[in-house]
Amino acid sequence: MITLVKRPTPSQFWAYATPLLAVFATMVAGGILFAALGKDPIAAIKVIFYDPLFGPNAAYFRGQLLVKAGPLILIASGLAVGFRAGIWNIGAEGQYIMGALAGASVALAAYPAESHLLFPAMVVAGALGGWLWGMIPALLKTAFGTSEILVSLMLVYVAQNFLAYAAFGPLKNPDGYGFPGSRNLQQYPSAHNPELIAGTGMHWGVVAAFLAVIATYVLMQRHIAGFRIRTAGEAPRAARFAGVVPAKLVMFCLGLSGAFAGLAGLFEVAGPNGQITDSFNAGYGFTAIIVAFLGRLNAVGILLAGLLMALTYIGGDMAQLMLGLPTAAIQVFQGMLLFFLLGFDLLTHYRLRLGRARA
C-alpha cells in the first residue's frame, strides 16, 4: 500500500527535480500519443526537441526561438509575482490582446506621420491597455470579493470580441480590398518593432522580456515588497501583521501582470505579427501559465522554461509539416507539461511510504 506522508518542510531537491521529471514524462507520454496516431514517436520527439537546435536549418530556427520565447517570458514574469502572492490571474491572454489593440490604435491613428516618439508612445499605450484590463478583476475583487480567476478568464472572451470588432471595424485597413485586419505595421517605419540584430530574432520585445526577468528577480529576492508578496502567499495572516494591505497587493499584482501582458501584445503586433487580425491571439497568455509553473515561479527558471516552451512551439510546427501531426496533438503535448508538473509537485510536499496499512 502507498501512503502520503506530509514533509515537515518542502523538499528543495524535489522542487528542482520535478520540472526535469515532468519534461521526461511528457516526452514518454507524448511518444505514446504520437505512436497511437500512427507516427514514429522517436522521430516526432527528435523533430520537436532536436531539429530546431541542431537540424539542417537550425540557424534560422534558433533565431525564431527568441521570437517565440519573448512574449512567453514577459507574460510569465508578471504572472509569477501574483501567483507567489496567491493572486491568480488566468486572463493574461485578454490583457495581451488589449495591449496590442491599444498600441496598434496609437500607431494607426498617427498614420502616416513619422516620428521617433511614436513607438515609445505605443509601448506606453500597450502597457496601459493591459494594465487597465487587469485592473477590472482587481477592482471587482477588492470591492465585492469576486474571484479574480473567473473574472480574468471571462474577460479573455470579451477581449477576443473586441479584437474581432476592431479587425472588421475601426482598425480595418481602408486599402485592404475589404479583407479584415489592420494596416501592416511592419511597413510603417515609425511603428515597426524591427529585428535589432539580423538573424537572431532579437527585437525590443525580447529585450523587454530579459529586463522583466531581472526586475522580477530584484523585486522578489532583494526588495521588501517581494518579501511581503511571498509572505502573503505562504502565510496570509502573518502578512497582515507584517503590514501587508490585501487590497493594495491585489491591485499591484494584477496591474503588474496585466501591464507585462499588454507589453507582450504590443511588441508582437508591432513586430513578428505585424497587424491586428481576428486571429491575432496565439494563446501566449495561457501558455505563459505553464511557463510560470515550469519555472517554479522563479525569474531564472521562467527564462529557461520560456525557451523550452518556445522550442515546443517551433518543433511542433515542424512536426506538423514534416510528419503530418495534427495541431491538437501538439497542444495536448504542451499541456502535458503542466499536467505532469502539478502531479510530480506532490513529491515536494509529501513523501511516499510503501508498506501494509496498519489495522
Question: Tens digits of per-residue pLDDT, 153-193?
Answer: 999 999 999 999 999 999 999 988 888 899 999 999 999 99
Give the list of residues 6+ apart from residue 121 with CB closer than 8 angstroms, or none: 106
User: Contact 22/301 with Cβ under 8 angstroms?
Assistant: no
Task: Quickly count: other Cβ atoms within 10 Å of residue 331's Cβ.
Answer: 14
Nearest to 269 by CA among 128, 109, 101, 106: 101
Grid look-up 527528435 returns: 46
Instruction: In whole angstroms, give the CA distance from residue 306 to residue 292.
Output: 8
What CATH class is the domain 40-324?
mainly alpha
Q: How does pLDDT run along the chain (359 residues), one tens digit per residue?
A: 778 888 888 888 888 888 889 999 999 999 999 999 999 999 999 999 999 988 888 877 888 899 999 999 999 999 999 999 999 999 999 999 999 999 999 999 999 999 999 999 999 999 999 999 999 999 999 999 999 999 999 999 999 999 999 999 999 999 888 888 999 999 999 999 999 888 788 999 999 999 999 999 999 999 988 989 998 988 888 888 777 899 999 999 999 999 999 999 999 999 999 899 988 988 899 999 999 998 989 999 999 999 999 999 999 989 998 889 898 998 899 889 888 988 888 888 888 887 665 55
Give kind and range of the element (H or E) at residue 4: strand 2-6
CB 231 within 8 A of CB 244: yes
My answer on whether omega of the bond before 112 falls inside 30° of 0, hence cis, is yes
Q: Which amino acid is at 29?
A: A
What residue segments make up the domains of the chain, in order of their start?
40-324
> How far is the C-alpha of 9 from the C-alpha of 237, rounded, in Å?
19
pTM of the model as a whole: 0.92
Distance CA 20, CA 37 (A): 26
